[in-house]
Amino acid sequence: MPKNKIMKRFWYFIAVILMSVSSIKAQDTKGTDFWLTFGQNSIRTYAQVDLQIRIVGYDVETNGTLYFTNLPNSIDFHVFPREVKTINLSPLQKQAVYNESVTTTKSNLSLHITSGAPVVVYALNQYSTTTDATNVLPTSSLGTEYYLLSYLPYSTSYRDAYTVVANQNNTEVFVDGALVTTLNAGQVYYAKAPNGTTNLTGTHITSSAPVSVFADNQCIGVPNGTGGDKSFQQMAPVETWGKTFFVPLATQPIMMQRVRAIAYRAETTLTVTGGTLKTDGGGKNSFDLDAGEWLELEITSGCYIESNNPIAVCSYLNGVTWSTRSDCAQAWVPAIDQSVEAALVAPFIPVGETNLDEHYALIVTSTGDKHLTTVSIGEDSPTGLTGGSWVDGPGNMSYYTMPLTITSESYYFENPNKLFVLGYGTGTSEAYYYLGSSSMRNLTAAFFANEVPCTEMTEYLLFCINDIEFTTDIDNIAEIKELNWYKMKTSGNTPDLDYVLITDIVDPLAWTRHFKAGNYKIKMEVIYNDDTELVCEGDLCIGAHINIYPTPSHGGETKPDTGCFKVGTQLPMEAYPY
């Protein structure tokens, strides 16, 4: 066999793969496994409401299934990239997921959604003039500690409420430190306030395993006693909370909104630009908060919030006193650190009686980068934003309200320097408001490898430098009892079976290590004085630098080249055209 063919075969059998040049995105609100339930809408029964699931395909065509914990039958779906799949639940299916008990209950009223590839999931709880929607977080973004952000009911005829859905058996649920129930996978704890004058904002929910938590007020009035509309928004766990926020104004047609912020730790101080402190809803009359305390703001344009400790923020559309073309609704606002390079949203089209007839996306990005924002409608090519204009706000942040006029299509927003998107819809005395897309990274204990966050270190990200510098971003460093680092070698003839403690690190907050080519997992473990434990893990794939030939002595042209390759997978023959 000629030498050049021998060389081709030799290189064909090297187990390597070329470095990907595509952008690496942080974990966000898309996923392959979701759990949800629905709380009572006003005083309506399951037969009166419209319950809708919107599933949007992401990058890969995929199949999926909706499993009802209380029913023997399921629903299969197939979705193409960027395709919107609308699933309107039948009366029997609505009954299987709708909580309408007058008291706190434990039930099997849940829905489990799985898919073969990542999708985005939204849910709508709708009745004419009482509607709200939420994004649904994948199980990979759930946690074991939450604080509830809600609102006072519109009148004493309604109750504030929340739901907790377990995705593992024997999950213990604690409320304000007291064990209230133990749930198996798919079981729901539906908690209602004892009366119509109780606001459950500040309720502290913890669990022995990750759970889904939804704010699920029957009918809120924002500000107190104004309007009256359903509230439905999934809460994010405390490890995803941040310290810097920008809250946009939903300017079509509302010209005023309320905002609530809640603290995770004691001695939390907020600095607010563009918001006025309000106490008519029961919030604290101060920007200094202890753990579980909250405050309320009124905004008439963009609002910039900074905090010395992690906080959570929700934005509320005001009631019909401010605009008959809308009503109350609640949306989770992510920290600016949870921005992503691409966001996928889709408007809701109820099938029942509805006043909703206008739908919008609310795009937020930095002022200096706003011109880089594009949108792709369905499978169309990216274009500039249309139908609105940029509004510059404090903190070097800007927002844009874009009408979603093609209601059967998804809208894919991109900005290489990151954005996040909220979605909302309005009609006569009716509205919904929800988080469209954001990251859900752990912001309380993160580490970086050559400035790449641990949450973005995946098996697809290749490091072509062998010397790796590790740095940390940890909340409340003064209260750390232990900070440990572990590594696991996952490639080669003798991979590790488990994590191995790295014992020779001098400064665990910042250190550098030389790695041989191969695949590793790195874990940082933070243990606080109160024995709270936080962990962040990432894949460290160190590339091999390999010279590619042939040279004239091998019968080919002179073509030396050096590539950075990932150990573990074959290159195809056509990668070497000589």
Would you tell me how many other CB atoms lie within 10 Å of the CB of residue 163?
A: 24
**What residues contact 360, with CB distance under 8 A and at least 6 apart?**
250, 252, 401, 402, 403, 404, 423, 424, 425, 426
**How does DSSP assign 448-513, residue by residue?**
EETTEEGGG--TT-EE--SEEEEEEEES-GGGEEEEEEEEEE-SSSS--SS-EE----S-TTEEEE
- The widest CA-to-CA distance across the chain, in whole angstroms, is 89
pLDDT at 475: 74
DSSP code of residue 188: E
Of 381, 393, 446, 404, the C-alpha closest to 242 is 446
Cα-trace Rg, the chain: 25
pLDDT tens-digit readout, 280-300: 999 999 999 999 999 999 999
Token code pair at residue 294: 């909250």
For residue 457, what pLDDT band results from cuts at 50, 70 and 90? confident
- Average pLDDT over every residue of 447-463: 85
Identify residue 372 by its one-letter amino acid code.
L
For residue 13, what pLDDT band results from cuts at 50, 70 and 90? very low
Asked if the structure places residue 22 within a domain, the reply is no
Q: Are strands 171-175 and 518-528 parallel, antiparallel or unpaired?
A: unpaired
Residue 561 has pLDDT above 70, yes or no: no
**How does DSSP assign 36-52, residue by residue?**
E-EE--TT--TTTSEEE
pLDDT tens-digit readout, 194-231: 999 999 999 999 999 999 999 999 999 999 888 889 99
CA–CA separation, 26 and 109 (whole Å): 32
Q: Which residue has the tokens 């004691």?
A: 266
Domain co-membership, 459 together with 425: no
pLDDT tens-digit readout, 350-388: 888 899 999 999 999 999 999 999 999 998 999 999 999
Domain co-membership, 550 together with 521: no
Answer whether 530's CB lies under 8 Å from 546's CB. Answer: no
Token code pair at residue 508: 């665990």
pLDDT at 252: 67
pLDDT above 90 coverage of the chain, percent: 71
DSSP code of residue 569: S
Domain co-membership, 142 together with 268: yes
Domain co-membership, 433 together with 471: no
pLDDT at 549: 53
Token code pair at residue 177: 């430190």
Chosen domain end from 418, 437, 456: 437
What length is written for the chain?
A: 578
pLDDT at 52: 97
Domain co-membership, 468 together with 557: no
Domain co-membership, 566 together with 524: no
Answer whether 558's CB lies under 8 Å from 531's CB. Answer: no
Domain co-membership, 517 together with 372: no
Residue 16 has pLDDT above 90, yes or no: no
pLDDT at 574: 40
Residue 250's SS3 state is coil
CATH number (domain holding residue 529): 2.60.40.10
Answer whether 193's CB lies under 8 Å from 200's CB. Answer: yes
Give the least confident one: 14-18, 57-61, 127-131, 157-161.
Answer: 14-18
b/e per residue, 221-254, with b = 16+ CB within 10 A?
A: bbbbebbbbbbbbbbbbbbbbbbebbbbbbbbeb
Of 104, 119, 124, the C-alpha closest to 173 is 104
Asked if the structure places residue 45 within a domain, the reply is yes
Asked if the structure places residue 351 within a domain, the reply is yes
CA–CA separation, 227 and 229 (whole Å): 7
Asked if the structure places residue 180 within a domain, the reply is yes
pLDDT at 238: 94
Domain co-membership, 234 together with 159: yes
For residue 23, what pLDDT band results from cuts at 50, 70 and 90? very low
Answer whether 254's CB lies under 8 Å from 317's CB. Answer: yes
CA–CA separation, 269 and 272 (whole Å): 10
**What secondary structure, in 3-state letters, does 349-391 show?**
CCCCCCCEEEEEEEEEEEHHHHHHCEEEECCCCCECCCCCCEE
b/e per residue, 359-374, with b = 16+ CB within 10 A?
A: bbbbbbbbbeebeebb
pLDDT tens-digit readout, 474-508: 877 888 899 999 999 988 878 888 899 999 999 99
For residue 570, what pLDDT band results from cuts at 50, 70 and 90? low
Answer whether 497's CB lies under 8 Å from 489's CB. Answer: no
Residue range of the domain that includes 571: 3-17+546-575
Cα–Cα–Cα angle for 285, 433, 122, rounded to 5 degrees:
130
Cα–Cα–Cα angle for 329, 334, 335, rounded to 5 degrees:
140
For residue 256, what pLDDT band results from cuts at 50, 70 and 90? confident
Domain co-membership, 551 together with 529: no
pTM score of the predicted model: 0.80
Asked if the structure places residue 23 within a domain, the reply is no
pLDDT tens-digit readout, 164-183: 999 999 999 999 999 999 99
Residue 127 has pLDDT above 60, yes or no: yes
Chosen domain end from 387, 408, 437: 437
Domain co-membership, 7 together with 46: no
CA–CA separation, 139 and 489 (whole Å): 27
pLDDT tens-digit readout, 499-545: 999 999 999 999 999 999 999 999 999 888 877 677 888 899 998 87
Residue 559 has pLDDT above 60, yes or no: no
Chosen domain end from 385, 408, 437: 437
Would you tell me how many other CB atoms lie within 10 Å of the CB of residue 151?
A: 27
pLDDT at 491: 85
CA–CA separation, 538 and 454 (whole Å): 5
pLDDT at 21: 25
Domain co-membership, 142 together with 256: yes
Domain co-membership, 397 together with 506: no
DSSP code of residue 102: S
Of 561 and 2, more confident: 561
Dihedral class, residue 202 (left if φ above 0, else alpha if ψ from -120 to 50, else beta):
left
pLDDT at 14: 31
Task: Please give the span between the terminal C-alpha atoms of the chain, in angstroms, as a whole number.
Answer: 15
Number of domains in the chain: 3
Of 213 and 458, more confident: 213
CA–CA separation, 500 and 55 (whole Å): 41
Instruction: List the alpha helices (DSSP H) in 13-141.
Output: 91-95
For residue 6, what pLDDT band results from cuts at 50, 70 and 90? very low
Tell me how far CA of residue 215 lies from CA of 44, 225, 237, 330, 404, in angstroms.
17, 18, 13, 9, 26
pLDDT at 277: 97
pLDDT at 216: 97
pLDDT at 335: 96
Asked if the structure places residue 25 within a domain, the reply is no
